[in-house]
Amino acid sequence: MNLGWVWLFFLFFNYCVLVSSLNDEGLALLSFKQSISEDPEGSLSNWNSSDENPCSWNGITCREEKVVSVSIPKKKLVGFLHSSLGSLSVLRHVNLRNNKFYGSLPVELFNSQGLQSLVLYGNSFSGSIPTQIGNLRYLQSLDLSQNFMNGSIPKSLIQCKRLRTLDLSQNNFTGSLPFGFGSGLIALEKLDLSFNQFTGLIPSDMGNLSSLQGTVDFSHNNFSGLIPASLGKLPEKVYIDLTSNNLSGPIPQNGALENRGPTAFIGNPGLCGPPLKNPCPSGTPGADGPSSFPYLPGNSPAVTADSEGGKTGKSKGLSKNAVIAIVASDVVGICLIGLLFSYCYWKFCSCKKGKDESGGHFEKGSKGRKECLCFRKDESETLSENVEQCDLVPLDMQVGFDLDELLKASAFVLGKSGIGIVYKVVLEDGLTLAVRRLGEGGSQRFKEFQTEVEAIGKLRHPNIVTLKAYYWSIDEKLLIYEYIPNGNLSAAIHGKAGMVSFTPLPWSVRLQIMKGIAKGLSYLHEFSPKKYVHGDLKPNNILLGENMEPHISDFGLGRLANIAGGSPTLQSNRMASDKQQQLQHAPSEVMTVSSTMSLGSCYQAPEALKIVKPSQKWDVYSFGVILLEMISGRSPMVQVGTTEMDLVRWIQLCIEEKKPLGDVLDPFLAREPEREEEIIAVLKIALACVQTSPEKRPSMRHISEALDRLIAASD
């Protein structure tokens, strides 16, 4: 009995020694580990109490055996943020982005007064920002985007004078911005408040944020009142996004707000004046903008003599003809100077643009730097602002790669069309992406491109391909998408050229694909921020995932290609010589790019030949043609004797001639007679979609609901 007690005491003593061997900071981190309920990748597996300190643990960085950084991003950790992190006395950086943390931010975390960066985006945190955030006088980066946080921004945030990055986008924050926001946070370089519920006025002191760069995003909130003219004081290279708020009144035309396109202001019904087409009512302050005539010193307000030799307070100034003559002479003078400058430039400058060849890796084009005899780039800004954007811009918070990784990756040509080449790119860590090269043309519309591509990048739906990042430089424009592995719908319906064996899709799979496409289009039409139109829907740009779920691709592609300025006939042929064979022998997951214009036109609504601007009813018609193609198994162009007709006309002809259903159906579907009622129901939906009159076509939301009911009834 006594011997047993001795053994128990010995074991307990050893356990105490093991635990006590770990320093206080290690114990604090073990408390943090205990608050994590799931660690599927074993990221914290080497956090052991037997160590003397935590400096060798995964995600931990120390300096002089003191923890300065806790960085565990993208590890699928589930749990809450333990207050023990606040006891790490010299903590400088916390990065827990893209995990599954929940709950509120512990007040104790803000005891680490030396904290410089707090990056928590892409989790499920809730609650408000503690007022104790004002303690973090050295804080430079605060990123809480893509969470479920609410409440208003505490006034104490203004005390974080060194803050450079503030990203609160995609949360549920409310209230107005605190007084002194612009004059207090003068070190800000990035500001994103989009997709929240902020209210009130945009502070007039925002113009003091002279260090801002890139896009300042106020979009998708409830800001109201006038746009403060002081925003024009921001650096002219800054793009100010004010879309989808409740702003009203005239748009100031000064500085950073001047010469901007309408895309920065849409979604504010109360705004008026250029660049919008909505003119301001007469009498509105600032509605008339600058005077039509230039201000001439001594002319306004002048005191002139009247006919009696007295004085009157009204100024006649120069006559209208005199002013017009002055303006005309100025214009002529400027034109002459411009012509002289152009002549000198082309006479004495000799510019050469470098070319390169890419080999087995995905290489971007040469920088295309122009070496001019009369100008150097650092002496003359010959291109528009920000076009030399030589870095990858992520649109998805889960993007964990950079430009160097992308350029070093293995690449395989998937297809080529009038809108660039598409590559399958495999990074070193195994991540697979689809990269579309838009070409080399264009350099003057970067801001417009940036606005469009970032709007597309915000779309998130399981049936729409995600645009993850983009790259823009003078001679190269790239779009980086998620990779969808199972090819496109056209190949799934008809097979691919040269395929030895082909198994048609069963009806149940086809029905699920139809349902997914309808949901994706319904999202674009009804629930996306701007109620978009695809405008070019066809089976070639409907990609199929691992479980044959559909993903609509190429949304907005034509618009982006037009802005980028790449000519379809002048696409780069680099990589083509050693990659074309891969296209012919590409695996089944290849994302084929159609170049057959005659087939593509079969999916266009009849009114598309007359109306330039696409409508949602165009997409409905295209969807109807796709349904008919999936039901019949036939191509969009049907051979009838010696002539061809489009699939819609052929189906209508079969109905007029009262041919049996078996003549219309894909023969493979005839093996499923129990599905006949469902097939007929979908056929009726398809025929409603391809009505000649757009007004008679149903909306995608109603179509999606009808397919949902049909599938629910069959289960």
Q: Hey, which residues does 250 pair with through a beta bridge?
A: 272
Question: From CA 604, how far away is CA 249, in angstroms rounded?
Answer: 40
Q: Hey, which residues does 257 pair with through a beta bridge?
A: none
Phi then psi for residue 149, to 5 deg, are -75, 155
Would residue 213 count as lying in a domain? Answer: yes
Cβ 84 vs Cβ 28: under 8 Å: yes
Would residue 359 count as lying in a domain? Answer: no
pLDDT < 50 stretches in the chain: 1, 3, 5-19, 287-317, 344-345, 347-360, 363-389, 566-598
Would residue 710 count as lying in a domain? Answer: no
Tokens 């519920």 sit on residue? 197
Would residue 337 count as lying in a domain? Answer: no
3-state secondary structure of 443: coil
**Residue 713 confidence (pLDDT):** 78
Q: Which residues contact 172 (CB under 8 A, 6 or more apart)?
A: 148, 149, 150, 196, 197
Extract the tokens encoding 515: 């349902």
Q: Hey, which residues does 392 pair with through a beta bridge?
A: 471
Question: From CA 683, how far away is CA 681, in angstroms rounded?
Answer: 5
* Helix/strand number for the chain, H first, E second: 16, 31
What does each C-alpha distance from 151 to 128, 172, 502 come to in angstroms?
Answer: 5, 7, 57
Count of CA atoms in the C-beta half-sphere (13 A) of 277: 0
Question: From CA 668, how far away is CA 662, in angstroms rounded?
Answer: 10
3-state secondary structure of 353: coil
Q: Hey, which residues does 204 pair with through a beta bridge?
A: none
Would residue 76 count as lying in a domain? Answer: yes
Would residue 8 count as lying in a domain? Answer: no
**Residue 298 confidence (pLDDT):** 33
**Into how many domains does the chain fold?**
1
What does each C-alpha distance from 452 to 4, 242, 338, 383, 470 come to in angstroms?
Answer: 76, 14, 33, 20, 11
Would residue 154 count as lying in a domain? Answer: yes
**Residue 139 confidence (pLDDT):** 92
**Residue 243 confidence (pLDDT):** 86
**Residue 376 confidence (pLDDT):** 31
Extract the tokens encoding 384: 């528009």
Boundaries of domain holding 189: 64-272
CATH code for the domain of 169: 3.80.10.10
Q: Between β-strands 270-272 and 246-250, what pairing exists: parallel, antiparallel or unpaired?
A: parallel
What does each C-alpha distance from 601 to 367, 422, 598, 615, 638 come to in angstroms?
Answer: 37, 22, 5, 16, 14
Please tell me which residue in 536, 554, 619, 666 is annotated as part of the active site: 536
Would residue 111 count as lying in a domain? Answer: yes
Residue 192: active-site member: no
Extract the tokens encoding 385: 């602002």
DSSP 109-178: GGG-TT--EEE--SSEEEEPPPGGGGG-TT--EEE--SSEEEEPPPGGGGG-TT--EEE--SSEEEEPPP
Cβ 619 vs Cβ 525: under 8 Å: yes
pLDDT in tens, 602-613: 888 988 877 767
